[in-house]
Amino acid sequence: MAFSSTPRVTREAARALLVPLLPRRLRTCLDPTLRLVAAREGLATEIGTLVPAAAPLAAAWIVAASEAGGLWQDPALAHARAGLMRALDMHAVERDLPAARALADLVALLSCDGADRAAAARLALPLWSEVEILSGFKDRLAALGAAQADLDFGHRSAASEAAEADDGGVTDLCAHRDAWTEALEAALLGLSAEASAAAVAASALGFGHEDAFVHGALLLRLLPDFGQRLTWAIDEQARAGEMRKRLLLEERLRHEARERRKASAAPSGSGGGTPPASTLAAVPEGHLLVVASVQQTGGDRGRSVSQGYEAIIGKPLPLARTPDLAQVRAALAVEFPYATATIDRLLTDLIGRPHAVLRPSVLVGPPGAGKSRLVSRIAHHLGVGVWRVDGTRDAGASIGGLDRRWATAEPCHPLMAMARHGIANPLMLVDEIEKAATRVDYGQLWHALLPMLEPETARAYPDPAFQTEIDLSRVSWLATANTLHNLPGPLLDRLRVVEMPAPEPYHLEALIAPILAGVAASRGLDAAWMPVLSGEELLLVRRGWRGGSLRRLTRLVEAVVAARELGLPRH
C-alpha cells in the first residue's frame, strides 16, 4: 500500500528530538519543559548514587530550595548550596571524576541567580565547550531523520518496500526522510544560536556585567534570553544593513519596471510623485526607510492619499535611542510602586538594544489598575511617541489602513504615528483590546493586527492606501485588557502576556505624590504649588480607598483638594 499522507514534520518536533541529545548543561538550559522541582530531586538522587558521602548535603539542599520559594539569595539556600558544591568539587579532584564537577555545575544552574558572579564564571567555560560539540551533530542529522521517518511509517521489510515502489510508497518515505532532515537542520541552527547566547551570558555575568534585571532571576531561565539580548545589537545591525540594501534594490527594480511600462505605453500626463529609488539617499545609521515611494495612479488619487506624509515618503526616519534604563525604571517606580515587576519585565526587552523597541505584549489586570497610564508613561520616558487606538471604537480593520479606492482612504495607524512623532519606532497602544467588535463585515481589529505583530510580515507590510510595502518592524505594540478569555489564539500567540497588579492600601502614601502632581498639571499649575495632604486629609482618603482602582483614588484626592480650596468641611 502507498501512503497518501505522511505525519507532519515541524521544527518544534525536530527540536524535541534533538534536545535529549544535547550535552548535559546545555540540555538543562535549553529544555523549556524542564520542571525545577523534579529536576532538583532527580539531581539529588544522581548525586547520592555517584557520591554517596554527599547524599545528606543533597537532601539539605533540596529542603532549603523548597523553603526558599524562589528567593535564590536566601541565606539557608546559599549555605546548603555552597556545602554541596564544595563536596562535589572536592570529590571530582580527589577521584579525577569530571562527572562530579558537572553535577556541581547543575546545582548552580538550578539554584543560583544572575547576580552570583562566581556561579556564572564557573559555568562559562563548560558551556562554551558544549557549544563546540554541537558542530558535530550536523553529520548525524541525515541518519537521525531517516530513522525517525522509518518510525513514522512503521517498520517495513526490504521486500515490502520494493513491492510498494510502483505505487509511490518508497517515494513518500524518501520525501518524509528529507523533510525530517531539513527540520532537524533548522532546529539545530536555532539550538546552536540559543546555546551560544547562553555561553555569552555566562561569560558576561562572570566578568561582572552589571545589570539590575538579572537579580533574582534563576540562571537556568536567565542565560539563553539574556544572552540573546546581549547579542541582539550586533544581529540587528547586520540585519538592518541587509534590509536597507534589499529595500533599495527592490525599489530600483520597481522603478525600472515602471519606466519600461511608461516607455511602452503612451503616458497620460506627467504628474508629481515621490522621488524614485535611484535618487534616494543612503539610509544613515540609526535611521529607517519606512516608505520608499508611493505607487501613483492615472489621476491624482495617489497624490491625495500621500498628502501630509511628504516628510516620511522616500526619506529615512530616525530611530529613538534607548535611554538610561536605570533612570527610566526609577522614574516609573515612583509613579507605579505596586507594578515594579511589570515595569522590569517590559524594560528587560531594551537591554543591549540601541533603539527603543518593545516586544508585542498585552497588559492584563483589573479595571483602574493604571495599565493605559503605565504604557503612556513608558512612552514618555523612552522618548517615543504613543498612538492610542481604542479597541471598543476602532471601526473594523481601519488600524491596518483603508484602501485607496474608498473616499475615506487612509494609511495604517502606525504610519500616522510615525508622521506625527517623526520617528520610525513609535509605541502603539491598543486599549481594551478584548472589547473589540467581533463582526467581520468590514474586517476585525484582531485580524488586522496579526501581520503588523509578526516581525517578518511587518518588515514588508502592504499598506492599502499607499499601495506599497512599508517597514513597521521597529514599531512597539502594547495592548491592555481586563481578561484574555475571548481573544483568539493566533493573536495570543503573537502577544506576550504581562500581569498588571492593582495597588494595595499600603501603597497609598507612595501614590499620593504623583496623583497630586497630575491634579496640578490638569489645572495648569506647577506641582510645587500643590501642598501635600495633611494628616487629616490623608486619613479621609484612606477611609474612602481600600486599594484597587486608581481612578477612584484620583477622584478622592481631587475632592479633598477642591474642598481645601473652597474652605469646605472635609467629611
Residue 102 structural domain: 11-220
Does the pLDDT value for residue 521 go beyond 80?
A: no
User: Whole-angstrom Cα distance, residue 298 to residue 302?
Assistant: 8
| Same domain as 530, residue 419 | no
CATH number of the structural domain spanning residue 448: 3.40.50.300
Out of 174, 204, 220, a domain closes at 220
If you average pLDDT over residues 390-407, what whole number do you get? 76
Q: Is residue 201 one of the residues assigned to a domain?
A: yes
Instruction: Work out how many domains the chain is built from and give that number.
Output: 3
| Same domain as 542, residue 445 | no
| Same domain as 525, residue 403 | no
The predicted structure's pLDDT at residue 171: 66
| Same domain as 557, residue 480 | no
More confident residue, 240 or 536: 536
| Same domain as 511, residue 486 | no
Cell 545591525 belongs to: 237
The predicted structure's pLDDT at residue 71: 84
**Per residue in 306-323, pLDDT tens?**
777 888 888 899 999 999
If you average pLDDT over residues 297-312, what whole number do you get? 69
Q: Is residue 258 one of the residues assigned to a domain?
A: no
| Same domain as 491, residue 520 | no
Dihedral sign from CA coordinates of 122, 124, 129, 130: positive
| Same domain as 525, residue 542 | yes
| Same domain as 147, residue 133 | yes
Mean pLDDT over each residue of the chain, to the nearest integer: 81
> Taking a C-beta distance cutoff of 8 angstroms, is the pair 195, 31 a contact?
no
Out of 196, 220, 244, a domain closes at 220
pTM given for the model = 0.53
| Same domain as 532, residue 394 | no
Q: Is residue 276 one of the residues assigned to a domain?
A: no
User: Whole-angstrom Cα distance, residue 42 to residue 242?
Assistant: 47
| Same domain as 452, residue 546 | no
- DSSP character string of 215-248: TT-BHHHHHHHHHHHHHHHHHHHHHHHHHHHHHH
Instruction: Name the most confidently modeled range: 189-203, 250-264, 523-537.
Output: 189-203
Q: Is residue 284 one of the residues assigned to a domain?
A: no
Residues 6+ apart with CB under 8 A from 441: 396
Does the pLDDT value for residue 305 go beyond 80?
A: no
| Same domain as 467, residue 548 | no
Q: Is residue 436 one of the residues assigned to a domain?
A: yes
What does DSSP say about strands 461-463 and 468-470: parallel, antiparallel, or unpaired?
A: antiparallel
Does the pLDDT value for residue 245 go beyond 80?
A: no
If you average pLDDT over residues 162-184, what whole number do you get? 70
Dihedral sign from CA coordinates of 413, 417, 422, 426: negative
Q: Is residue 527 one of the residues assigned to a domain?
A: yes
Reported as half-sphere exposure (CB side, CA atoms, 13 A), residue 487 has a value of 23
**Per residue in 110-163, pLDDT tens?**
999 888 889 999 999 999 988 888 888 888 888 888 888 888 777 544 444 444
Confidence of residue 2 (pLDDT cuts 50, 70, 90): very low
**Per residue in 464-479, pLDDT tens?**
888 888 999 999 999 9
Q: Is residue 291 one of the residues assigned to a domain?
A: no
Confidence of residue 3 (pLDDT cuts 50, 70, 90): very low
Confidence of residue 87 (pLDDT cuts 50, 70, 90): very high
> Taking a C-beta distance cutoff of 8 angstroms, is the pair 422, 317 a contact?
yes
**Per residue in 529-565, pLDDT tens?**
677 777 777 787 777 777 777 778 888 877 877 777 6
The predicted structure's pLDDT at residue 242: 66
Residues 6+ apart with CB under 8 A from 394: 436, 437, 445
Out of 186, 220, 254, a domain closes at 220
User: Whole-angstrom Cα distance, residue 363 to residue 346?
Assistant: 10
The predicted structure's pLDDT at residue 387: 92
Does the pLDDT value for residue 164 go beyond 50?
A: no
